[in-house]
Structure formats: structure tokens, C-alpha cells
Amino acid sequence: MSMDIPPGGRISGFRLARLLGEWRRRGARQGSSDLAAAIRLLVLDGRLPAGTRLPAEREMADALPVSRTMITAALDQLRTEGLVSSRRGAGSWISLPSGSLGTIPDTPLVGTSMLDLARAAPPALPGLLDAYDAVRSRLPAELAEHGYYEHGLPALRAEVARRFEQRGLPTSPDQIVITSGAQHALALTLRLFTGPGDRVLVEQPSYPNALDAIKAVSAIPVPVGMTSTGWDLPGVAAALRQAAPRMAYLVVDFHNPTGHRLSAQGREELADIARRARTPLVVDETVVELDLDGDPLDGPPPMASFAEDLVVTTGSASKSHWGGLRIGWIRASTEVVHRLVSSRTALDLGSAVIDQMVLAELMSSPSYTLQPRRDLLAVQRDVLLAGLREHCPGWRFSRPAGGLSVWCELDAPVSTRIAVMAQNHGIRLAPGSRFGAHGGFERSLRLPYVLPVEVLREAARRLGVVAASVAGAGAAAEPMSVPVA
């Protein structure tokens, strides 16, 4: 472990306590190894980058609901693992372990850049720049207006509604609210349907930022495990009966992270189950357009077709066009749209107009097609899977038919250990535990295929070295008993 003090930023005790979110709420009932595990997780998923200076123990003790002794013990444990370094007079900072978890001498880092396999987000669609140019000529008319569109730019609402119609779901622009991404859309629906202490049914595993959003409004995720082939609908029905959640958050198209898609028959059953329990379903369609083996128009009908009264659909241009646009939407009844927009104004007064114009421009263009993006992702997917078969032969996975990532089953409960080791090899990974409502998934790893093929080949090769090294080191990862913070 290097004792050079890195030039990282400093995190305050208050901010660390916020990052430790759910752990903090349960803190008093947990031990120092749970606190160490919660901090370790923040390091692994990149929220506490290497080099970050930690608050003094005294400041941590003021911010966290635990004793200073427990903090000292947790930091001691992290020091032993090499995740924290300290020097008298200079304090403590986050470091990356090398010797204590084993080094792999034959794999130097390529430059200083990390291969980011933690984010399943592709770069911008090539036509985006042209759309910005096209929109410029129409800007003067727009600039003469006030620029506030709480429901969204009318032209974009119409395009989003048209796309639902093309997918067989009659939709009027009045049923659409444009948001700043699907994450914002979920936050708005959570504000509408839940209050502190309410339950929200989620798939297990699920999209980590959605789990964080649920916890951030002090709601309680009620996880229902996925099966190896998809949804446990009897399990969903039982959870709706027993836990009486205020809403369910589901990703039925190319589920993140497993890649599963719910069949039309499954959707019908799910609609019946939700109707019996009168539970609103918030259905996230962020990657519905990324059908890699077929045409999105040939897929099962949108979930809202089966329960128009109960389903609120969220969607996004982030994965189809570009995450940097920060444009998403909600489709709901006009009554729910009205309530959503009324509550929205306490948070924001609409999304950026120019970005909405750009997306409307793209979607309305006669030559508009996402097929090249789908084709490229399909090639990247196949390259990654071939690389994994070659370099990580003990890992199991099924070929996702859409979406942006593959969910691997590892040969041992080593996901966290692999994520830690991979950093030494220039790969950033989100450990499986990030996808559980309360951690877990030490046997699972989500690997996105959004990077260029040559990078994916190299990533698979490096993952093979990491996997072999972890197996050689005995593979006994400490269980992550702590919820994701």
C-alpha cells in the first residue's frame, strides 16, 4: 500500500453520513464490521473515490449515530484491507489495496484511464450533433417565449405520445410529462404515491439508483426475488397482499440488471395481480427501444396496455440517444399527469428547452432510426460474451435479448472481491451487492457492453486474470451483510 498522500478532495462527516444512508438509520444495531462493509461498498461503487480524505474520527462520531470506538475499529479494519491509509498529522484517506488482496504482476494498467464497466450508458447517438444544428434556426422563436414548460415542450410530448401509439398504446400528448431523465420521473412518482415509512415493491435484484431513490424518500423497498427465467408472479401477488405496498417499481423490458423481459401473458397476469391489490405499477421503460434481436414494435405490448388505470410508465432518451440530454418522460392518465405536475413545481419548473427541441427534432425526422445503435450494441454484446466464455469459463450467463448489460453468475461468492481487485487492473465494476435492496448478490456481477469491441475484448481478458487470481487467493470474500448505502 502506498503511503503517498493523494491529491483527492475531502468529504465532510455530514456528507459521509448522507452517503451511508440506510446504514446510518440502522447504525445503532450494527457492529464495526458492518460500518466497515458499508464504507467499503461506497469505495467499490465509486462514490468514495480513491484519494478522498476522510473526516477526523471525532467529526465522524459527531455525524454518525455510533461511538467513536466503533468508528476506530471500522477504520482499523479498512486499514488492514488496504482501503484506508493514514498518516499522523495528515489524517486518513481512501486508498486502493494492492498487496493485501494479491497483485497480478503481468497486467499493468493501460495508461491511467479506467475501463468503466460500472456504468451501462452508451455514448451519444451520432445524429445528435446535427439535430442541435437543425434546432438552432428555430431557436429565435423559442427564445421570444418564457421557456417554462412544466408539462414539457408540446412538440416533444407529441412525439413521445406518437411512439406509444406506434407500439399499439393509444396515447394523447396530454398524458405525457417530460422530465429530466427517468430517474427524475421515478422521483416524481415516488413523491406522488409514497410518504415516509410506506412500502414499495421492487424486483430483487433491481436498478441501484431506483433503490436509492426509494430509500431517499424514506420509503421501504419490499424485494421480490427474480427467478432464473424472470418474474415470480405468485411471489409478487403474495408480497402485494402481505406487505400492502403503496406502489411497485418494475422494469419489465430488458430488466436491469438481469436482462429478462416479461411476456405478454406475464403482463396480463401481473395486471390482474395489481388490479386485485389495487397497487399502482410504476413501469420503467428506459431501455425498451434497445431490443437487440428484434424490432421493438414486435415486442410484447407496453405494460400500460394491460392495466391503463394502474400503470404509470416512465421512459428516457438516455440509453437510446444520450444520457447527457437528461430527458425522460412519464405516461399516465391525465388526472395523474395533473397531480404530478402540481407536485413537480415544488422541485423544478420544467426540463431544459433546447434539449427537448433536439430530441423532438430527432424523433420527428423521417430518417430517424435507432437500428444502427441496436446493431452496434448486439455486436458489442456478442464480443463481450465470447470474451467471457474464453477468459472466465466458470461464469454462467444467458445472452440478453436487449438492454445494455449481462448479469453473470460467478463460480463463487466473490463479486465484491473481484470489484476490488479489478480496480488494480484498470476496470471499474459495480459489485453485485449494489443491485440488492439490502446487499447480497455476492455471486453476481453486471457487465455492460457499451464500450467499443476492442475495449470489451481487453476488459474480458483482464477480468479473466482477476477471476483466476481471486480463485487462487482462496475466494473467501467477507459476506456483505450491510445494505447498499
User: How far is it, in rounded angstroms, from Cα 310 to Cα 274?
Assistant: 8
- Tell me which amino acid residue 149 is: Y
Cα atoms in the Cβ-side hemisphere of radius 13 Å centred on 132: 9
- φ, ψ for residue 236 (rounded to 5)? -65, -45
Closest contact distance (angstroms) between CB of 461 and ligand PLP is 26
Q: Least distance in Å: CB of 404 to ligand PLP?
A: 7
Closest CA to 400 of 264, 292, 266: 292
CB of 460 to ligand PLP, least distance (A): 22
Give the residue ranges of DSSP H helices in 194-313: 208-216, 233-243, 264-277
- Residue 205 CA to residue 444 CA, distance in Å, equals 10
Of 44 and 327, CB closest to ligand PLP: 327
Provide the minimum distance between the beta carbon of 70 and ligand PLP in the complex, in angstroms, as a whole number. 35
Q: Between residues 70 and 404, which has the closer beta carbon with respect to ligand PLP?
A: 404
Min CB(118)–ligand PLP separation in Å: 11
The least distance separating ligand PLP from the CB of residue 207, rounded to whole angstroms, comes to: 4
> What single DSSP character describes residue 320?
T
What residue ranges bind ligand PLP (CB under 6 A)?
Answer: 120, 181-183, 207, 251, 256, 284, 286, 316, 318, 323, 328
Measured distance CA(75)–CA(33) in Å, rounded = 9
Cβ proximity to ligand PLP, 260 vs 417, nearer residue: 260
At closest approach, how far in Å is the CB of 398 from ligand PLP?
19
User: What gap in Å lies between CA 478 and CA 141, rounded to an integer?
Assistant: 61
Is 380 in a helix, a strand, or coil? helix
Q: Report in angstroms how near the CB of residue 295 gets to ligand PLP at its nearest.
A: 21
Judging by DSSP bridges, how do beta strands 281-284 and 311-316 pair with one another? Answer: parallel
**Please, which residue, 121 or 354, has the CB nearer to ligand PLP?**
121
Nearest CB to ligand PLP, comparing residues 182 and 392: 182
Which stretch of DSSP H or E encloses residue 134? helix 128-136
CA–CA gap between residue 411 and residue 409 (Å, rounded): 7
Residue nearest to ligand PLP (CB): 181
C-alpha cell at 403: 438492454
- Between 385 and 404, name the residue whose CB sits nearer to ligand PLP: 404
Cell of 369: 432510426
**Residues 451 and 380 sit within 8 Å (Cβ to Cβ):** yes
Phi, psi of 248 (to 5 degrees): -120, 145
Q: Which is nearer to ligand PLP, 127 or 205 (CB)?
A: 205
Residue 300 or 315 with smaller CB distance to ligand PLP: 315
